Amino acid sequence: MGSIKGLALAGAMLAGSFAAAEAQTAFGPANAKETYYWISQNSTLPLFVRSDYRGMKKVADQLGVKIRIAGPTSIDLQQFIATIDQVCAQKPAGISVVGWDPALTASVNKCIAMHVPTVVDDADLPNSKRLAFIGTDWHTIGEEQAKAIIKALPNGGEIAALSMVNADNMKQAVSGFTATLKAAGPRYKIVAYQDDAGDSSTAASVASSIMAAHQNIAAMAGFDSESGPGIVEAVTEAHKQGKIVVTAMEQTPEFFKTLTTGSTTAIIVQNRELFTYYAFRLLYDFNHNGLSTNGLTSWEGKPIPVNVNTGVLVVTKDNVGPMLANTPKY
């Protein structure tokens, strides 16, 4: 199946009959009797490769099934939707979709109507008919970033936030963020909330613009994995490293070093390997556990958990040491 290190390269290839550029990386034995799919846009994102891919490889090997990765390797919602539709048409054993955007709801519902077991991981599609959601409580992510800022700025200040603003999970995070800051009192004021399109260079440009418009900005929070690196780049170029509090989401191991230099104050880590591991565990159970709710079929009774909260870890300079020392080698 190849090493994890080679997955990003394999992921950039055009393959199969799909209209979308996709990562046709596969895990599990060649003679597997069942094939499952994980579908996302930006499907070869380094964060996915180092964490989500590992969960898929582990569960594929344990269950003896094949798991394929599909979806555009860039942010391309239309190709993402097309890939879901085309994969469902092949009637695989099951699908896990990363719920980047509410526009995916219709495609997930089509899969369910076709009796293709479908769950959502990482970001939920709560209005869809998905069988389950596996991932983080994003409201908690917002709360934790706000708490870190409050601790670092006891006297308050002007605060900015960056994210992919249309994503439901980001909206939940910002809701938790704003509610926590509001509860802390009027001395904490959010002066900007802007879209970075899930791209670090865009995030850097946006962060620079925010600093230019708000000379007294005291903190910036980033809610997608590319926000943090962009914010740190902009703050560093402005020679405000350590002067502006930065909180961010999990990224590559190199990014965690920013905690030791003071470039970031807190990084929220999701248990991302659990997203995909349990997504496919649940899909496999749906197909095989044989459980029944009062005699209903699996489609009527849904014999798997509806929500799996995989939790978060708040990493600071005080607890980042073991993480840096034990970073998996790929």
Give the E-state strand segments of 22-113 in sequence order.
26-27, 35-39, 66-70, 94-98
pLDDT tens readout for residues 40-65: 999 998 889 989 999 999 999 999 99
Same domain for 146 and 228, yes or no, is yes
Same domain for 121 and 218, yes or no, is no
Residue 5's pLDDT is: 36
| 207 contacts 264 by C-beta, under 8 angstroms | no
User: The CATH number of the domain where 241 resides is what?
Assistant: 3.40.50.2300
Residue 45's pLDDT is: 87
DSSP for 158-195, please give it.
EEEEEE-TTSHHHHHHHHHHHHHHHHH-TTEEEEEEEE
Same domain for 131 and 277, yes or no, is yes
Same domain for 181 and 238, yes or no, is yes
Assess if residue 322 is contained within a domain.
no
Residue 329's pLDDT is: 54
Residue 327's pLDDT is: 65
What is the domain extent for residue 32? Answer: 4-136+271-314
Extract the residue ranges of the chain whose pLDDT is less than 50. Answer: 1-23, 330
Q: Is 86 helix (H, G, I), strand (E, B) or coil?
A: helix
| 38 contacts 276 by C-beta, under 8 angstroms | yes
Domain total of the chain: 2
Same domain for 215 and 183, yes or no, is yes
Q: Which amino acid is at 240?
A: K
Assess if residue 246 is contained within a domain.
yes
Same domain for 143 and 260, yes or no, is yes
Residue 328's pLDDT is: 60
Residue 233's pLDDT is: 97
Name 229's Cβ contacts closer than 8 Å, sequence gap at least 6: 200, 203, 204, 248, 251, 255
Q: Is 106 helix (H, G, I), strand (E, B) or coil?
A: helix
Q: What is the pTM of this model?
A: 0.82
Residue 10's pLDDT is: 35
Same domain for 129 and 12, yes or no, is yes
Same domain for 62 and 72, yes or no, is yes
Residue 24's pLDDT is: 59
Residue 50's pLDDT is: 87
Residue 178's pLDDT is: 98
What separation, in Å, do the N-terminal and C-terminal C-alpha atoms of the chain show? Answer: 14
Assess if residue 330 is contained within a domain.
no
| 137 contacts 126 by C-beta, under 8 angstroms | no
Q: Is 70 helix (H, G, I), strand (E, B) or coil?
A: strand
| 283 contacts 39 by C-beta, under 8 angstroms | no
Q: Rounded to an integer, what distance in angstroms lies between the CA atom of residue 173 and that of residue 184?
A: 17
